Structure 1
Amino acid sequence: MADTRISFKARLILYHRGRILLLKQTKPNGGNYTLVGGTVESREFARQALIRESFEEAGIILREEDLELAHLLHKVNGEEHRIVFYFKAYRWEGELKAKETHKFKEAEWFYLEDLPRNLTSTVRHVLEAYRHGQLYSEYLKK
């Protein structure tokens, strides 16, 4: 039996004036739109990781009490299992901009009903499930 690898991620659904924040990846990183967030590192909880990643990637300062669990994704890609916590927030501080310029080109706001065509397939799946009120979904990467 093959070893199963499990990783944990945290992503942000940040609202402002009815729109959500997406980061556009640089061409070498796919050139698609994605949500702010990243890997939960050792000795971190998901909300702590999201707070750290949000500041590193987009200059956003969040507080744990402003983060509400919106969706949980179990994604399988080969032998890797990924558990992704999606938190929504309406409040933040800081100067919003794509800070990790080697990974992201820009930060933009979009309505859930009018998302860009080049949204990553995983984020598209999650936002569709989220819009339909599903707290949990599964995604098999093909």
Structure 2
Amino acid sequence: MTTTTRDPRSWAARSDFWIGAVLTVLGLTAAQMARGFDATSRSYPLILALLLAAVGVVLALRGALRRGDQQDFGGPLQGALPAVAVLVLWIVALGGGLGFVLPTLAMQLAFLALAGMSLRRALPIALLVTFAGYLIFVLGLEVRLPSARLPWLL
């Protein structure tokens, strides 16, 4: 059951605004980080980061300017906080030198668990997504990843 609010004056209580603001900050932060990459691996993450920021701005403006029914802030926030925590931990693990495969596999498992999937069903999907991501980005597009402290972790 979805709870709605009809107070058009209270833009600060709208979930679209806050989710858009968070996406904008994350996108701009990622864009700033991507600017420090070398020229061969900078373009793809920079474009994705700027697209994320643009989507965030559109969502925040839509949430701030839209009148009428809005999703109550409590519902999306309860689902968004664990997902943001998973993403932050994944970024820390990648930047901390744990390689690509193990942090990405753990992230996929965490997202599937948040969606209510059992480990038995989630593991093959997470393995497929992790290795497909590695094949596409690292081998296919030659995106350079941060150095792993233990090279066998990929």
Q: TM-score with structure 2 length normalisation?
A: 0.21
> Comparing both structures, which one devotes a greater share of its residues to strand?
1
Greater percentage in helix: 2
Name which one, 1 or 2, has greater alpha-carbon Rg: 2
User: TM-score w.r.t. structure 1 length?
Assistant: 0.22
Which of the pair has the greater relative contact order for Cα pairs under 8 Å at 6+ separation? Answer: 1
